[in-house]
Amino acid sequence: MIQIIKGDITQIKADAIVNAANNSLMGGGGVDGAIHKAGGPAILEDCKKILARQGGCRTGEAVITTAGNLPAGYVIHTVGPVWNGGKNGEPELLYHCYQNALKLARDHQCKTIAFPNISTGVYRFPKPLAAETAHRSIRDFLESSEHRISEVIIVCFDDENYQINREIV
Ligand code: AR6
């Protein structure tokens, strides 16, 4: 089941919440900044270990850390594509972000997972295409994979994403 809500993902008590990170995993602005700020230094400590082990996170891929002080169980960090006109595989990379985050959630026995609208802030991905891609990826995963995920929450921070996402479900 896909649920659309408007709010701040740092407040969501899901088994996992997803962060729209960057390749360095060292934090940033937007939802990334909000998650590190609310979750505390334990999240960055885990990210540093991943950076040392595998040099960060590639665009379209995902890694998992503690959620520190957040009410969620884990934070899954994925790196969305920077929008550059759409001819550089941006939709496919965004599709992979959702797939790879969901695979990690499944592998950690999560039942509930919350996503922000990945790439639609600083990375400038057009919101309608991002929403369509996100919903398609989530639906494909829920239908095709063996998993215990019963609820996927899309947490929209801005009104525009909220309206667009509500129209798709
Ligand atoms: N809860 C849910 N959604 C939020 C929150 C929040 N607390 N705060 C912002 N958003 P962005 P990107 C929404 O820019 O485009 C960072 O600096 C926001 O309205 O956070 O993937 C990273 O380190 C927007 O719809 O992520 C990267 O460098 C959505 O989150 C870069 O930004 C994504 O906006 C990633 O850019």
pLDDT at 17: 99
> pTM for the whole thing?
0.98
Cβ density class 30-48: b for 16+ within 10 Å, e for less: bbbebbbebbeebbbebbe
46 is catalytic: no
How far does residue 54's CA lie from ligand 1's centre (Å)? Answer: 24
Instruction: Name residue 80's beta-bridge partners.
Output: none
Domains, the chain, ranges and CATH?
2-163 (3.40.220.10)
**pLDDT for res 145:** 82
- Regions of the chain where pLDDT drops below 50: none
**pLDDT number for residue 28:** 96
**Predicted local confidence at residue 26, as pLDDT:** 98
Ligand 1 centroid–CA 58 distance in Å is 17
